[in-house]
Amino acid sequence: MASLHSSITPKHRATIREVAEIAGVSISTVSRALTGHRGVGDQTRSRVVEIAKKVGYQPSGAARSLRTSRSLTIAMLAPDLENPGNQTEVRTAISVAAARGYSLMVFDYSAGSTGGFSVINRIRESDVDGVLLGAARLKVTRELLDLLESGIPVESVGESTTPHVEGTFIVDNATWFHYDKAACTHAARRLFSMGHRQVAYIDWRDQSLLGRTRFQAFQECAIAHGLPESSVTLLKAAKKEEAVGLVQHALANSPTPTAIISGNGVMTPYTLEGIHSAHARIPDDLSFIAFGDSPWHRAFQPSLSVIRRNIEGEAAGMVERLIARIEGREVPEPDIQPTEFIDRASIAPPPQTEPD
């Protein structure tokens, strides 16, 4: 392969002064025109852009950053990019930020330390204008707390990001947790009132706070129906692929669940694979509910009942709030939509067990 790029000599870099002289405007007008700031007429802006293009002027982001202390760049801490919900969040954030003239620097928080320097330190030295905390499941570290205390604008999906005690930290998504729990209760009530008496809930081995809350909502609902807490059991996977075997094992052993809830979007297809390989039919032999939704959930046969959050809406709100904070405008309250339980075709009464 010919190395094309190394053989090209970069063009002469025109200065901002040259652009200003040709356009017959001040240097600061050129700067404002090229950075998309207000206070420059459309006609002036397009003429400046045109001239800058013609003479090959490239504003230096670093130089501008030092001048204006605004980099038009946002950092996003995105934990577990394998999770489809997190992918949706990042994708939405990129689009919404772009529409506002900001670039998004995405940090894979699960990747941890890099080159002796952690992801958070990389953010702190990046001159970003603000930080998005992309989901509730963040490792609580001293550095994260330092970041929150440093004064840089930070937003998370839910309510305020609140450092509580020295050295500890909670993303206080109370409303969001509240809605999720309500949707779980809704789904659990549906299962138990249909006659299900043994339900399996599959999640990671190191369940998140949110995962535990959801699981407990199912257990509490069982108790409210006069059933023992053990009516809802937890299948714990360390890796997504383990879901296949865990489900197979649960379906081959007693007490056999008549309903399975996939508590994690990453594990849903593997859980389904386990159900198929155990030759259990949905919903005749086994009811199924998944957390998270996608066109695949709807296309599945039978279509899958889900517990769905409005991730796009939450992510868009998070970006809008952060940019308002950065630009010194009034920050709107988060508008968290209720989590929905959507009952499609994967739920039915449990199969009749024949008397011995």
> 78 to 137, contacts with a copy of itself by CB under 8 A?
78, 81-82, 87, 90-91, 94-95, 98-101, 103-108, 111, 114-117, 119, 122, 124-127
- Considering only residues 219 to 248 of the shown chain, the ones binding a copy of itself according to CB under 8 A are 240
Query: Residues in contact with a copy of itself, total (CB under 8 A)?
Result: 88
Contacts of 180 (CB under 8 A, 6+ apart): 210, 213, 214, 217, 307, 309, 339
CB 265 within 8 A of CB 85: yes
Where are the extended beta strands (E) located within the chain?
Answer: 73-78, 103-108, 130-133, 154-156, 161-162, 170-171, 199-204, 232-237, 259-262, 287-291, 305-308, 340-342
- Considering only residues 248 to 307 of the shown chain, the ones binding a copy of itself according to CB under 8 A are 268-270, 272-273, 276, 294-296, 298-301
Contacts of 183 (CB under 8 A, 6+ apart): 307, 338, 339, 340, 341
- Considering only residues 187 to 216 of the shown chain, the ones binding a copy of itself according to CB under 8 A are none
DSSP 230: G
Selected from 47, 55, 65, 182, the binder of a copy of itself by CB under 8 A is 65
DSSP 5: G
Could you tell me the smallest distance in angstroms from the CB atom of residue 135 to a copy of itself? 15
Could you tell me the smallest distance in angstroms from the CB atom of residue 264 to a copy of itself? 12
Nearer to a copy of itself, 184 or 289 (CB): 289
Q: CA dist 131 to 33, 79, 226, 257, 325, Å? A: 26, 13, 46, 43, 11
Selected from 14, 18, 28, 45, the binder of a copy of itself by CB under 8 A is 45
Could you tell me the smallest distance in angstroms from the CB atom of residue 284 to a copy of itself? 13
- Considering only residues 333 to 352 of the shown chain, the ones binding a copy of itself according to CB under 8 A are 333-334
Residue span binding a copy of itself (CB under 8 A) among the ranges 158-166, 200-208, 219-227, 308-316: 158-166
Q: Report the relative pairing of strands 199-204 and 232-237 from DSSP bridges.
A: parallel
Could you tell me the smallest distance in angstroms from the CB atom of residue 119 to a copy of itself? 7
- Considering only residues 12 to 41 of the shown chain, the ones binding a copy of itself according to CB under 8 A are 33-36
